[in-house]
Chains A and B, each alone.
Chain A
Amino acid sequence: MSEIFGFSGQDGRHWFNSVIYDDNIIEKIKDPEGGGQVELPTAIPSPFARFDLVRIAFEHINRTGRLQMSEADGEVIASAEDERLVSFTLDFLELFFNYSAISNDLKIIPWNLVNDVNTLITNPETNDFGDALQLFIQQDARVYNFDLTANLYIIKYKYTVIGSTSPLTLFCPGENGLKELEIRIGGQLFFSEPRPLYMRSQKFQRFVHFYFRKYPVLTERMSWLSVYVSKSKACLKFLNNDTAKRIFQMINEIENNPTTAEMQYTSIAGFKIFDAVDKNLPLLMLNPEIEQKAINAEQQARTDAIKAMARTSDLRILSAKQDETNPTLILRNDLSAAHQYLDAPWSNDLKVPNAYQLPVNDRPLPGSGVVYPHLVVGDLLEPVLIRVVYPISKRFFNGNYHAEAGASNKGYLIPLKLKFFDYFTIDQLKSGDPKTPKIEILQTVGAVNVKLHIPLDNGEYVPIERTYYDVENQTTTAQLEEANRGVIQEHEIGFTLFPFLRTRISELSALYRVQLVDRNTQNHYAGSDYRLEFYTDTANGYRLVDNREKIRSNKQVHDVGTKYYIVNDEFDFVSLKSNTASGLIIPDWEPFHQGNTSYNFAIDFGTTNTHIEYRTSKNPVPKPFNIGADEIQIATLFDPDATSEDFSGSGAIAIRESINEEFVPFTIGRPHSEFSFPHRTVLAITPNLASNETAALADYNIPFIYEKNDFRFNSDFETDLKWSKHNTENFNKIKAYFEELLFLIRNKILINKGRLNETKITWFYPTSMQPSRVATLKQLWERTVETYFPGGIEVFSMPESLAPFYYYKFSNIIPGGNHTPAVSIDIGGGTSDVVIFKNNAPLFLTSFKFAANTLFGDAFLSLRKDDLGMLGKHLPHFKKELGANSRYSKVLTALEQVCMRGKSADINAFLFSLESNPKIADKNLFSYDLMLNNDDELKIVFLYFYSAIIYHVAAWTKTCGVEMPTYVFMSGTGSKVLNILSPEMSYIEQLASKIFSFVYGSPIQDKIKIITDSKIPKEATSKGGLLSMGQTSEFELEDVKRVLNYSENGPSVDKLRYDQVNDGIRVAVVEEVERFNDIFIHLNDDGFFFDKFSVSTRSFNYFKTHADDSLADYLADGIQFNMNLDADEDKDKILEESLFFLPLIGVIYNMTNYLSSLK
């Protein structure tokens, strides 16, 4: 995985072009120690750093909801220091607002930016300071607003400097003991407890809002202040008391009519923060003579009468959600039918605004001026209609779309504003029933007409209409809304919901992932950003549903942007928002009810491949996990059946491709899907994963297209999940892998109306795994199950070694009785597991990390070697043949991607998978099995590998005191080696018989029968687990586990600790390997290897000369490697596997490299 030494989130190599660290990026720089930074340093390199400090305090406070110090998840959003600086700055403003009351104690000293600097510069003693100030005044003029500033004013209170004016924040408080000065006006103590603006006096708040309204330069040049002021207005709502409401109303008045309010203030003797043409910003103070006028009582009576008429108007909306005291009216211009309005029917001479800035309850009724709640078109319909480049899927509500003209190969989001749901429900909207609202989207030439029928209390309807045009002259949305015109914007976005399922049963808990794809890279919206909001209907409105957003691919870098939303609650509709438009996506959920089928699953999480089998109470025959065409889990917003290959000519195919790459495919399982289990154990990961709080299908996904297709987008891959190092990062990856599997399983059960709480799950572990690692896996499984199967289900674990035997037993593959012992050998990617059974019960088992990866991996090296060994020899063939046919170009790219990122094991796994890739036509040409089978030089390696396992098993069974077995069951990915050895099983059986006879010292006879299911070696484990579920009694692993160890006294199955491995034992192991090598050489005394397995003479001679080289070194390497694997384990732990194989790994690695290099 690459690593970028920076924070931009961009990807590249060496020194590459990136982007400026702007606020968004700076925001991402977290203190690795968890923050807690409270004291703000004056960190910027400018003499004016203090001005900046105060500005930043405003920016921090603005990020909080209540404009007070605040902390979230241990991160300080705004500190106490920020709060204090902001409050002190406001104190200064309030001090000057009340200037006349305190002017005797204040001394204002102007400091001229030109003259005073020059005075400093001309004096050699102060020249350095003057120069520095001048440099920064000139160079930073733009950002510090020095270009508008003539003077700074330093403020003294009774001889103490307390602060100055600031071109950034109006005022800059000093640190000279302001609190101790006890400055008071009318009892109010200044520079003491922090107070946000909205908690200050009514007069002062009104003044501040007026000041900001009157001088737009404040918004333009001090945006942090104007944001603060408007947020302060919003905060009044939280206070929820009459005073606050009154202030809110007053601010509205000021905003609507600033000129009337102006009279009340006068400016203070020539003090100007900004002093430039057109940008004058004088300081103002309160003019106390002006008083509020009393409300005219007569006017009040008239208002009450009109309100009473409005309450019974025909134009009352029929809504169960609204407050009944003042039912809301619906008003529109050009109303065709006659409806009683107030004291007369609505007249089209009356004009109602098409859009209001005022809240619904604060609007003056047309013709009367009395404030009464009413809705207009601008409340309900969006100014922008979002068109997508595909028809909307049947799984979503399409707004009763109908194309009267033009092609119907595109779709529209529902252009409703959220306000609609203050009155109506989603169900009403979709139902089409009488007395419910109804929407119609009608496509005509060059325009789309949207009509919304609003039901009235009297049973009639008022149609609310807006026409949206492809081309539109009005520029701002405000202008559009005023004119009741709409504009169409075509956005190339994709939306996929997983799973398409709503149970309405809270015990099942709701779990969703939603993918948002942004393919707007070439068009007008290349600079747009998109986000989703999730909503649910409530009894009197709607509620925002919590979610977490995760960014995966970045549009600027990867040509497509993807975001993922984790939503753990049911929702009714989704709002898609861009910088310029928003629209609704409304899933057409299907009703859900639970049936009574129960499901069992067995999950074989393997080193190379992972497999899942399942069966149900209705159909007990195990089947590989699948997602059939009738149980598709995802719902794409595009209609998969009606969307053209190129997305209506837009070429936005990334919308489809990113589903398979980063999300969940439509179907899984042959023959319908190109994806199936067993599948490569691989996880795709968001690059530059920042946090540890990660989740499947957001930060990670299982890339089912791995080894099938190339990847267009941006992911890192992790294939070494099962044996990865012990640390949080890796546990998160394993957990994510489990999460997605269990998520798929859960959805399958629910979509098929199964009983979630009756599910049973079995998972497997190799017995060679350290107990602490098994415990970790167990914990990861159980925690994940808790989430996806709330309420708990039965989870079983089973040693991988046992399962295959049960598969053969329960599927009656074992011939005849079973009185002599049978051995089951499961050769996986990372481990081989061996069990001796007698009378259908396991006697002993053992396990070792000598398996497929020994042949196809990189031994103990972390270096990749695709130019060496087996790959060096055979990879060029595949690259050449794939390159020769343009149909395979994607497969070739996929191969090259694996070569670039992967280890040898990954590349080999890829080559083995080619034969069964549905895209490949000539299976023989791409059969790695066949190619290796025909490779006479390398054959001896596979023979040696197989013989070593058989030899060890024989020595082990003998040492355990068990008689020679008759049946050997071979399963697991690695048992494919048998295919490579020879198509003739009897030769392989002969070889095994010879080895067993050597070890047991009995006369050679063809006694051993090997049983394997070469087509499904991997599946045997999970099928066996499933078939035996609940039928095998739990047993104590430690009681049956036997590891074959060696010492001066010969082999034994006594337990051995790492710290007991002394030189004597090392020598004994090496001698045992030498003994085996000798036997192996003698097996060929009669030319057995040459005749039956086509081993080349050259390779055999090489083996004879070099087989015993460096065995002791290999052993030492292997011991070190195993000890490193579990860093937190102690040295006194028990050896979980035999040392026999460690030297062999080195022998095989070197032999492979040498033999592959032979021409």
Chain B
Amino acid sequence: MKKLYIFAVGGTGSRVLKAFTMLLAAGVKPDSGEEYQIVPIIIDPHSTNLDFQRTATLLENYMAITKAVGTGNGFFATAINNLRGLNPSTSALPDTFTFDLKKVSGSQFKDYIGYNQMNEASQSLAQVLFSGSTVDKRNQPIDLLDIEMDIGFIGNPNIGSVVLNQFKDSGEFREFASSFTNDDRVMVISSIFGGTGAAGAPIIVKNIRNAMQADVDSGGFLRDAKIGALTVLPYFNIAKDPKSPIQKSVFIAKTRAALSYYQNNLDSVINVMYYFADSLNGKAYKNDPGNGGQKNNAHFAELASALGIFDFLSMNDSQMKNSNGVVQRSVYKEFGVKLKADKLKFQHLEDDTLSKIRKSLAQLLLFKKYLDEELTNAMEKTTWAIMTPKVEPELLRDGFYNTHLKEFLEAYTIWLDEMAENGRGFDPFDLKADVRTFVKEHPAKTPWYTFNKFNYKHLNGSLNEASKKRDYTNNKEKLVHIFHQATQDTLQKYFKIKS
């Protein structure tokens, strides 16, 4: 199967990867119909970053779910794997999605580059290139060369570019290179305004194109890899904190400088570039340079960006030709919605966007609602639950259900809730409403000749139907599959959501 390697760099990278995972769980697929295996690699020097941890947990739950039920059930229909998982018998990598940066904690940048070991010429060059000062964790002025590494990236992508370059010598990079084939693709996701993302994305791309010079397998494939890059421009506000090294007004200046660098240095390196910029001056995030456990609420920008990944997968190989590591024609993309709104709902989105997400998001949410509100009533009573393999109370105590699926779906609603609350918001669901009105613009309606308003009994009808259509090896697979079928039916029939 073809593979898509996703390099998620920094906090924004993690958050977009999370949105992408949610869409995969909901059953969204690329338009081309081509099946891909997804291999995420998260790169973030802040190992305490909560955004990054939330995403890692989510991916682990996703993998556990697909391990139990496979990928043929509508929901969770795309395989996700980590680098180790591609080659479990021989890989020496840990069983995680993350790339651990070495030598970053507790040391100064000067030590990292081995300043004291250099000759006079190189020391002097380092003095010019990294001259000037910045502030340390305690907001004290400090020479750039003396800055502590784990915070060093924050305002200084030039330092980040040196440190993150260790990626090319890592086991992860070698594993990536040796598993990479001509059919595979690479997507690099990052923000342009922070530190890690702005520095990391070019490093990854450059090393891939430069792979012939490196001591790795498949250097030739890598050099001409089909690379997409998703660059997220500032989309949130940072609360004013005059003491923090992160300043809002610097965001824009940084973005402009970095874009200008991209224009000259990454054109002809990246096949497809996705720009996303939300100029709405929305809700302020807590000002946290990274050492306090950065955690930001989900945002529509991440959902839209995740759709960019699907777009990338839907493009033809012929649109991404390279020769000798040089892209023949770079493509640039931007995202638009049909109507302007501070709180986006389905009606504001373009039809192409709707057809990808409206039904799927609603299906997964309906699945979750049913499990929360109705499953215990239905077990041992309704046809679909009684038919073998039975969905019985025991399942609720199984780790598959009570840990992985439950945690995943819980994360899904938190994610939706955060997007709704954020400014700019994305608010198509009423998470507190009953099952009849949970899709804001599409209340469920039963035909006029019936006397009952829509309720879970209608959904049970569809579940019964669905459970008769296929034989299941176990009740977990059945649970996921029939709910995909039945929620689809129900949304079409009663909510008039066809796609």
Contact = CB atoms under 8 A, between A and B. Distances in A.
Interface of A: 1-8, 10-23, 26, 29-33, 35-37, 39-50, 52, 56, 109-111, 116, 119-120, 123, 125-129, 131-132, 135-136, 138-140, 143, 152, 154, 156, 161, 163-164, 172, 174-176, 863
B131 A174 contact: yes
A161 B133 CA distance: 15
A319 B323 CA distance: 64
Contacts, number: 266
Contacts of B114: 123, 125-129
Given A26-B263, A131-B168, A161-B128, A5 B120 contact: no
B125 A154 contact: yes
30 contacts: A2-B337, A5-B278, A5-B336, A6-B276, A8-B332, A14-B335, A15-B311, A15-B334, A16-B335, A20-B267, A26-B259, A29-B233, A29-B259, A43-B256, A45-B200, A45-B201, A49-B157, A49-B158, A50-B131, A111-B121, A116-B119, A116-B122, A126-B113, A132-B161, A135-B165, A135-B207, A138-B213, A140-B265, A152-B125, A161-B128
A23 B274 CA distance: 17
Interface in B209-263: 209-210, 213, 233, 248-250, 252-263
A109 B166 contact: no
A42 B157 contact: yes
Contacts of A20: 263, 267, 273, 330, 332
A10 B334 contact: yes
Contact of A129 (B162, B301, B350, B441): B162
Interface string B193-206: 00000111111001
Considering the complex of A and B, which 4 residue pairs feature the smallest CB-CB distances, nearest first?
Answer: A125-B114, A14-B352, A6-B334, A49-B158
Most buried by B among A11, A12, A45: A45
Q: Of residues B273, B279, B336, B340, which shows the largest number of chain A Cβ atoms within 10 Å of its Cβ? A: B336
B331 A3 contact: no
Nearest to A4: B336
A163 B128 contact: yes
B118 A18 contact: no
Given A123-B117, A154-B128, A43 B253 contact: yes
A176 B162 CA distance: 22
B401 interface: no
Given A18-B275, A48-B129, A110 B265 contact: no
Contacts of B277: 5-7, 29
B261 A11 contact: no
Nearest to B109: A129
Interface of B: 112-114, 117-122, 124-133, 155-158, 160-163, 165-166, 168-169, 198-203, 206-207, 209-210, 213, 233, 248-250, 252-265, 267, 269, 273-279, 281, 301, 304, 307-308, 311, 330-341, 347, 350-353, 441
B198 A45 contact: yes
Given A1-B339, A29-B233, 16 more contacts: A6-B336, A7-B279, A14-B336, A20-B267, A20-B330, A29-B259, A39-B250, A40-B253, A44-B257, A111-B121, A123-B114, A129-B122, A135-B203, A135-B206, A139-B206, A143-B264
Nearest to A48: B129
Contacts of A23: 260, 263
Contact of A15 (B125, B249, B274, B279): B274
Contact of B121 (A11, A14, A18, A154): A154
Contact of B257 (A19, A43, A128, A175): A43
Contacts of B255: 29, 43
Contacts of B335: 4-6, 14-16
Most buried by B among A4, A42, A132: A42
Nearest to A27: B256
B263 A16 contact: no
Contacts of B332: 8, 17-21
Given A5-B278, A20-B332, A156-B124, A132 B199 contact: no
A56 B339 CA distance: 37
Nearest to B325: A139
B479 to A, nearest CB: 33
B339 A135 contact: no
A16 B335 CA distance: 6
B162 A47 contact: yes
Given A43-B198, A131-B169, A132-B165, A2 B334 contact: no
A20 to B, nearest CB: 5
Given A46-B261, A128-B166, A41 B254 contact: yes
A119 to B, nearest CB: 7
A17 B331 contact: yes
B350 A14 contact: yes
Contacts of A129: 112-114, 118, 122, 126, 162
A126 B117 contact: yes
Contacts of A863: 347, 441
Contacts of B129: 47-50
A45 B249 contact: no
Nearest to A6: B334
B259 A45 contact: no
Given A26-B259, A49-B158, A119 B119 contact: yes
A120 B307 contact: no
Given A41-B253, A45-B161, A11 B336 contact: yes
B496 to A, nearest CB: 11
Contacts of B263: 20-23, 26
A2 to B, nearest CB: 6
B165 A131 contact: yes
Nearest to A49: B158
B253 A21 contact: no
A31 B206 CA distance: 30
A50 B121 contact: no
A44 B158 contact: yes
A1067 B264 CA distance: 70
A851 B336 CA distance: 36
Contact of B260 (A11, A26, A152): A26
Contacts of B278: 5
A890 B363 CA distance: 42
Contacts of A49: 129, 157-158, 161
Nearest to A862: B347
B210 A139 contact: yes
A500 B353 CA distance: 48
A154 B202 CA distance: 27
A50 B158 contact: yes
A509 to B, nearest CB: 35
A1 B340 CA distance: 6
A110 B113 contact: no
Given A6-B275, A44-B258, A164-B125, A139 B209 contact: yes
B101 to A, nearest CB: 11
Contacts of A131: 165, 168-169
Nearest to B117: A125
A1 B348 CA distance: 9
A680 B143 CA distance: 65
Contact of B262 (A17, A21, A138): A21
B433 to A, nearest CB: 17
Contacts of B120: 109
Contact of B336 (A3, A43, A47): A3
Contacts of A125: 114, 117
Contacts of A19: 332
Contacts of B337: 2-3, 5
B128 A164 contact: yes
Contacts of A128: 112-114, 162-163, 165-166
B418 to A, nearest CB: 19
Contacts of B254: 41, 43
A850 to B, nearest CB: 26
A56 B334 contact: no
A4 B252 CA distance: 18
B345 to A, nearest CB: 9
Contacts of B117: 123, 125-126
B422 to A, nearest CB: 15
